[in-house]
Amino acid sequence: MGKFIVLLGPPGAGKGTQAERIAEELSIPHVSSGDLFRENLGNETELGKKAKGFMDSGKLVPDEITISMVAERLSRTDCKDGALLDGFPRTPFQAQELDAILKKNGNVICCVPYIMVSDQDLLERLTGRWTCKAAGHIYHQTFNPPKDSGICDIDGSALYQRDDDKKETIEKRLAVFHEQTAPLIEYYREKDLLVEVDGTQPIEKVTEAILKSVQSKK
């Protein structure tokens, strides 16, 4: 059976930062719905055009677009032995759909680390975030600065600030998290998959805690 892990947490909790590290450590692909949408935006696909307005206003992209996009990604051969999901599912309906998608191949979710950070800290993290154009590597102007300002340490590409990292949009995204995504905390706790992780620790400590939580649910 494959190793499917869902990283849960509010916008800015560090899902992308941690996913990069955990996916490498566990040799499973990082599947981020937000990154898939941003790739489509960059390539100006039909899907990207449909998603843009929702993303720019901090709302969820409708389920019929989101679920089929993630299902297609999970159907590729690199996900046959597992995947680290980041940003999906985001509603109880998406969670049920994910269970159904995995079940088709006899798979289930093995662990749901929930990265906890207060709204006040999240605002500071998101307004100071810089993301690399080429591959989405993540930096913070104070907490995790690149060696050369404006340039990705890993691939040398330019860093940019995401369109949805403006204060008003961040506030909307946080409200959407509390209303629509927070019910997943209880959903996964009831299934005995949830492990709470203190997301205010330094990046390496959070990685250690997530890896420990995955071990604990083996």
From 158, 113, 119, 84, select the one nearest 12 (Cα to Cα): 119
Instruction: Find the shortest distance in angstroms from Cβ 51 to Mg ion.
Output: 15
Q: Encode 82-114 in three state secondary structure.
A: EEEEECCCCCHHHHHHHHHHHHCCCCCEEEEEE
Options 8, 16, 137, 213; binder of ligand AP5; rule CB under 6 A:
16
Per CB under 6 A, the list member of 29, 58, 82, 113 interacting with ligand AP5 is 58
Which region among 10-18, 23-31, 77-85, 183-191 touches ligand AP5 (by CB under 6 A)? 10-18
Q: What distance separates the 2 farthest-apart alpha carbons in the chain?
A: 46
Q: Which residue number, 1 or 163, has a Cβ lying nearer to ligand AP5?
A: 163
Residue number, 15 or 90, with CB nearest to Mg ion: 15
Which residues from 115-174 bind ligand AP5, rule CB under 6 A? 125-126, 128-129, 138-140, 143-144, 164, 173
Q: List the interface residues with Mg ion, window 11-40 (CB under 5 A).
A: 15-16
Instruction: Indicate whether 188 belongs to the interface with ligand AP5 (CB under 6 A).
Output: no
The DSSP secondary-structure symbol of 178 reads I
What distance in Å separates the CA atoms of residue 65 and residue 88, rounded to the nearest whole number? Answer: 13
Residue 82 interacting with ligand AP5 (CB under 6 A): no
Q: Return d(Cα 155, Cα 2) in angstroms, integer.
A: 31
Q: What share of the chain is helix, strand, coil (3-state, %, to 5)?
A: 50, 20, 35
Known catalytic residues are 15, 90, 129, 162, 173
- Residues of the shown chain interacting with Mg ion in the complex, contacts defined by CB under 5 A: 15-16
